[in-house]
Amino acid sequence: MDAILLQILNGLDKGSAYALIALGLTLIFGTLGVVNFAHGALFMIGAFCAVTLQRLLSLSYVTIDETRTDFLGNPLKVRTPYLESWFGPEVGQAIIDWSVPLAIIFAIPVMVGLGFLMERGLIRHFYKRPHADQILVTFGLAIVLQEIVKYFFGANPIPTPAPEAFSGSFDFGVLLGFEPNAIIYPYWRMIYFLFALIIIGAVFAFLRFTTFGMVVRAGMADRETVGLLGIDIDKRFTIMFGIAAAVAGLAGVMYTPINSPNYHMGMDFLVLSFVVVVVGGMGSLPGAVLAGFLLGILESFASMNEVKSIFPGIDQIIIYLVAIVILLTRPRGLMGRKGVMEE
């Protein structure tokens, strides 16, 4: 029992990342009808927003302390971050420590701006082109973005820790009456899950309860008619592209403490996210979220030793296997709408 609970919890954080990326992909696909292979790159750029902010905050100047010496006997060079000298050591240290959560604020304008730029500059010209062309051009863009990040940050993963306060683990089992240490769950993963829920809730609420969201939903259903009503639907769709980019970016920002970002993390997630979108049903937002969590949890179940001893290697292929089965039995995916992207 406790093992099952533990696997569900373990699946949640990866599932959250899948759900957030798949949500953004579906938003873009549902509104603009564009298959965006560069979405993984947006996730990656979000993660590097966190890295950038951390580096900016820890910019420091060097002073030479004559009283102490390093191991070679030279006077010791002391690095003091500017923040510490401005706000005092404690506040300064705290700000640096909290750089990942702070990066959320930093990442939103960056990602929205990047999304606008992408849509206006490139994607716009590909509405009428076949899906193969859209896949290919965004694939090229993903390579370019990836190489640019690689140039600035190098090829190695960059550890970006979460704030001290969240470094421990939460003993979940005690709450439910299990032995201590039977089910422990790192705080940050819990935060990531909650954060994902908030973002997903916010996107759905935005679409459901605002006039803007209503117009966008109408546009998703019938773009032409909304245009005939004198509404500038293109502008709104561009904004939705920005929002989708921001969702992917935020998923990346918060993911940095779980997995140190490197320049190809986007590609790794992209393939899986596409599978998630297809399993959920192209163009269905709830389907994307559901499939994201479902596949995340299934993946963590498949990596249990008990399962692996029966089906060796199942943890490596479970997601693809599920996708194949679902695509062949339910062509529209779990919650796909009728008439969207059917052959």
Partner 1 sequence: MLGLNKRDTRFLLIVIALTMLTPFILQPFPEGSALAQFNAGYPDLMQRIAIFGIFAIGFNILFGLTGYLSFGHAAFLGVGSYAVVWMYKLLDYNVLPGLALAIVTSGLFALAIGYLSLRRSGIYFSILTLAFAQMSFNLAYSVLTPITNGETGLQVYTSDPQILLGENEPNIPHLFGLVMSDSYKLNLGGWVFTFNIGYYFTAVIAILVFYLSLRIFRSPFGLMLRAVKSNQTRLNYTGVNPRPYTLAAFVISGMYAGLAGGLLAAMDPLAGAERMQWTESGAVVIMTILGGAGTLMGPVLGAGFIKYLEKIFSKINENVLDGWFSFLPDPLREVVVWIFSRFTGEGWALTLGLMFMLVVIFLPGGLMEGGERIRNLIRRRKNGSGDDASPGRTPAE
Q: State yes or no: residue 222 binds partner 1 (CB under 8 A).
A: no
Q: Which of residues 129-148 bind partner 1 (CB under 8 A)?
A: 129-133, 135-137, 139-144, 146-148
18 is a contact residue toward partner 1 (CB under 8 A): no
Report the C-alpha gap between 217 and 221 in whole angstroms. Answer: 6
Which residue has tokens 């909304």? 226
Can you tell me which residue has the tokens 């206006």? Answer: 120
* Cα 31 from Cα 27, distance rounded (Å): 6
Helix (H) or strand (E) holding 89: helix 89-97
Shortest reach from residue 177's CB to partner 1, in Å: 37
CB atoms within 10 A of CB 329: 7
- Minimum CB separation of residue 273 from partner 1 in Å reads 11
Query: Mask of contacts with partner 1, 171-200, x by CB under 8 A?
Result: ------------------------------
- Residues that contact partner 1, how many (by CB under 8 A): 40
- Tell me the window of 81-89, 274-282, 290-298, 299-307 that interacts with partner 1 (CB under 8 A): 274-282
Would you list the DSSP string of 19-79? Answer: HHHHHHHHHHHHHH----TTHHHHHHHHHHHHHHHHHHHT-EEEEEEEEEE-TTSSEEEEE
Comparing C-alpha atoms, which of 231, 336, 266, 230 is closest to residue 42? 266
Positions 148 through 167 that interact with partner 1 (CB under 8 A): 148, 151
- 282 binds partner 1, rule: CB under 8 A: yes
Which residues, 304 to 323, sit near partner 1 by CB under 8 A?
Answer: 312-313, 316-317, 320-321, 323
Rank residues 195 and 263 by Cβ distance to partner 1 and give the closer one: 263
**Residue 127 binds partner 1 (CB under 8 A):** no
* Cβ distance to partner 1 smaller for residue 258 or 341: 341
Cα 305 to Cα 7, 12, 315, distances in angstroms: 11, 19, 10
The window from 87-95, 107-115, 121-129, 169-177 that contacts partner 1 (CB under 8 A) reads 121-129
Which one among 182, 327, 334, 340 touches partner 1, defined by CB under 8 A?
327
Does 22 help bind partner 1 (rule: CB under 8 A)? Answer: no
Q: Is 328 in the site for partner 1 (CB under 8 A)?
A: yes
CA atoms of 15 and 320, how far apart (whole Å): 15
User: Is residue 35 within the footprint of partner 1 (CB under 8 A)?
Assistant: yes
Cβ atoms 237, 219 nearer than 8 A: yes
b/e for 170-187, b at 16 or more Cβ within 10 A? bebbeeeebeeebbebbe
Q: List residues near partner 1 by CB under 8 A.
A: 35, 122, 125, 129-133, 135-137, 139-144, 146-148, 151, 267, 271, 274-275, 278, 282, 312-313, 316-317, 320-321, 323-324, 327-328, 331, 341, 343
